[in-house]
Amino acid sequence: MPGGAEQQTMRVYLRVRPFSKEELYDNEDQDCVVIENSQTVTLNAPKGSATMKSSEKGIGMSLHKFSFSKIFGPERTQSELFEDTVKSQMSDFLDGKNALIFSYGVTNAGKTYTIQGTPKQPGILPRVLDATFHYTGGRQYEGMDLKPYLRNDAQYLDPDQVKQERSAKAAIFASVKDVISCLSMNLGSIFSLYSSPLVLASDPTEAGSSQFALWVAFFEIYNECVYDLLQPSLCSKSKKRAALRVCDDGAGNAYVKDLRWINIQTLGEASKLLQFGNKNRSAAATKMNQSSSRSHSIFTMKLLKIDGSSVKRISEFSLCDLAGSERCNKTKTFGERLKEAGNINNSLLILGKCINALRNNQTDRMKSSYIPFRESKLTKLFQAVFCGKGKASMIVNINQCASTYDETLHVMKFSAVAKQVVQVIPDKPLESLAPCLVGRDGKPLVRNGVIDSQALESCLSEEELLDDEDEADMSLLPQNEIVTMIETLRTKLLTERRRNLVQEMEIRKEMGDAMLQQLMESEELRSRQIEELKESYQEKLENTFEMYKDAFKEHAYQSAMNNLEDDYVPLDEFIAEQEKVEVCPLIKKRLMELNETLQYVRDGFLEKSADLETLQRKADDQVR
């Protein structure tokens, strides 16, 4: 660990949602979640759950205990949650450090309520915005000509670009109904209710001489695609939303390309942006939640500290409302909802893999494993924070329902792993990789983009101006003229060498910047080509699939028609055969009747023949 760096485990908080009336009516209250104290909670497996069935078979346990940084029961309020969880990270954000808070849990556990809240009970996000405006009140930078660029940089905007920014901001506010929001009234004097004010590490007198500009972005990750929630064109249902790409800024930091950043200066403007973004967010009804978030929404704030006309530092605060993990057989999802659930669970699975890999690498440094940050856009965007460029904390949201016990247990096991991850935060931000010119003694001549005068003077010391073999024979000249000439030549040589060194530094810096820019452009071009190639291959695959599907349909149709032709019988023949089949029993019956009559006649004939023979014999006897 570098000297002076701060080392601490990730803060993981637990919030338990209270029961609803419907849940109490359905007998969901079976004491599955028991809060022992402010840091320990016990989970008891209810009857019928998979965990209880496994424990009855001797596999696993029915009782589990977990510890957290702090536990908030159903009776704890939004203000208490902010006071005990976010306030320290809020101070770091205002002091120039990066922060990340993400809510995690199963669907219908209260994650969105924790992050955004309601107009009467504001969540973490509105309170962070209010705290920021409370801190920067009266020292806000009115101009919009300084805007965040890439991940950690800022850029100057010309008047035309500033005009475009104002137009985009006005277009968003024009589409939001101007309703008197309770948010401002509830948060207007929120800091007067706190027991302790925000404590900042920076000097307040230094902060008082600076100005601040707050820029925000609001986007979602839906089906592994990034969509901007602050695009006015999203209001048109006929237009398909444009997916944004996650790129690299060349220093290992991921950012969303073409993401819209809006400069806000009041809490009312922030409330309108939230309302506009939430209207565009992907949500749908499932069996467990009537308004289930089907995407990961990320609200990011960047605070620019401005001295004069230059940006002194940039700090970032991201609040991520993760979509809830779910089991499709309980939420009864199918079709499009099933595809969404698969992508949600996959991204949360990769997040769990990254957390687990970080923990394993820190516990066993001899066996460092690969951390799959780039397998998901969610983990790729927050890779820098997890790797020490900011503090990350997690708020685990659970409900106490017996029907979701197995999913809740899985969430608790994930949080137990996350709580063991150690974060190393350096005191000073890591310097970006840039071309650097060093002097003959190996010391850099350029520090933070500025020429170091002391190093330059050391490089141009008098002992290095002339070598012994380069000295000229000037013994024929008078001594005073020789001294004057030496001093003049020495001054000219020093000036020339200084000019040459400065020019060399500028040329090398320019060449390095150009090479870096060229590398970034080529990398971006390669990434674009790969994406286009992937899309073309995907399109070809879909076309091939459609072709085979049509061929199978045609083959099935032809087979059915051939079978129909082989088994075809004309209607007349069919009717005639059917009549034959129907007449046949009558014929058989008539034949039987004729046979019986014939037999009767035959029997009568035989009897008559016998009588005739008897009479013949009697007649013969009488004649004799």
User: How much is the pLDDT for 129?
Assistant: 92
Give the model's pLDDT for residue 451: 54
Give the three-state DSSP class for 269: helix
Determine the angle formed by the axes of helices 124-136 and 87-94, rounding to 10 degrees.
40
Which of the four pLDDT bands, split at 50, 70 and 90, describes residue 217?
Answer: very high
Give me the half-sphere count of Cα atoms (radius 13 Å) on the Cβ side of residue 243.
Answer: 11
CA distance 449 to 464: 26
Q: What superfamily would CATH give domain 6-425?
A: Kinesin motor domain (3.40.850.10)
Write out the two tokens for 231: 């695009």
Lowest mean pLDDT among 9-18, 98-107, 149-158, 193-202: 193-202
Greatest mean pLDDT among 90-99, 434-443, 580-589: 90-99
- Check residue 237 and give its pLDDT: 52
pLDDT of 555-564, one tens digit each?
A: 888 887 777 6
On the question of pLDDT at 465 being above 80, the answer is no
Output the pLDDT for position 40.
93
* 388 contacts 363 by C-beta, under 8 angstroms: no
- In angstroms, the CA 432 to CA 430 distance is 6
| Average pLDDT of the residues in 280-301 | 68
- Which has more pLDDT, 51 or 616? 51
pLDDT at 389: 83
pLDDT value at residue 366: 64
Confidence of residue 338 (pLDDT cuts 50, 70, 90): low
pLDDT of residue 210: 82
> Does the reported pTM lie above 0.85?
no
What integer pLDDT is reported at residue 252 of this predicted model?
Answer: 75
Check whether 105 is labelled as a binding-site residue.
Answer: yes
User: Which CA distances in Å does 579 have to 178, 444, 568, 573, 585?
Assistant: 83, 110, 19, 10, 11
Q: What band does 41 get if pLDDT is binned at 50, 70 and 90?
A: very high
Question: Residue 426: which pLDDT band, with cuts at 50, 70 and 90?
Answer: low
State how far the Cα of 437 lies from the Cα of 443, in Å rounded to an integer. Answer: 9
Q: Across all residues in the chain, what is the average pLDDT?
A: 77
Q: Is 434 annotated as a binding residue?
A: no
Determine the pLDDT at residue 215: 94
For residue range 593-614, what is the model confidence (pLDDT) as tens digits? Answer: 888 888 888 887 788 777 787 8
Q: Is 512 annotated as a binding residue?
A: no
Q: Which two tokens stand for residue 566?
A: 């082989």
Provide mean pLDDT across the span 160-183.
75
Helix (H, G, I), strand (E, B) or coil at 248: strand
Q: Is 576 annotated as a binding residue?
A: no
Bridge-based pairing state of the strands 296-307 and 70-72: unpaired
Nearest to 288 by CA among 322, 321, 320, 324: 324
Can you tell me the distance from the alpha carbon of 590 to that of 402, in angstroms, rounded to the nearest whole number? 78
Is 112 annotated to bind a ligand? Reply is yes
Where is average pLDDT lowest: 105-114, 431-440, 602-611? 431-440
Query: Which band of pLDDT confidence, cut at 50, 70 and 90, is reported for residue 515?
Result: confident
| Cα angle: 71, vertex 76, 78; to 5 degrees | 105
Whole-number Å distance between alpha carbons of 124 and 415? 20
Quickly state the pLDDT bin for 15 (edges 50, 70, 90): very high
Quote the percentage of the chain above a pLDDT of 90.
14
569 pLDDT tier (thresholds 50, 70, 90): low
HSE-up of 4 (CA within 13 Å, CB side)? 5
Question: How many CA atoms does the CB half-sphere of 70 hold within 13 Å?
Answer: 11
589 labelled binding-site residue: no
The CA-to-CA distance between both ends of the chain, in Å, stands at 156
**Does residue 108 have a known ligand-binding role?**
yes
Going by pLDDT thresholds of 50, 70 and 90, the confidence category of residue 624 is: low
C-alpha 191/C-alpha 5 separation (Å) is 31
Percentage of residues of the chain with pLDDT beyond 70: 76
Q: What is the pLDDT of residues 58-71, one digit of tens each?
A: 887 888 999 999 99
Please tell me whether 109 is known to bind a ligand. Answer: yes
What tokens appear for 324 in the block? 């809830």
All structural domains of the chain with their residue ranges: 6-425, 434-516
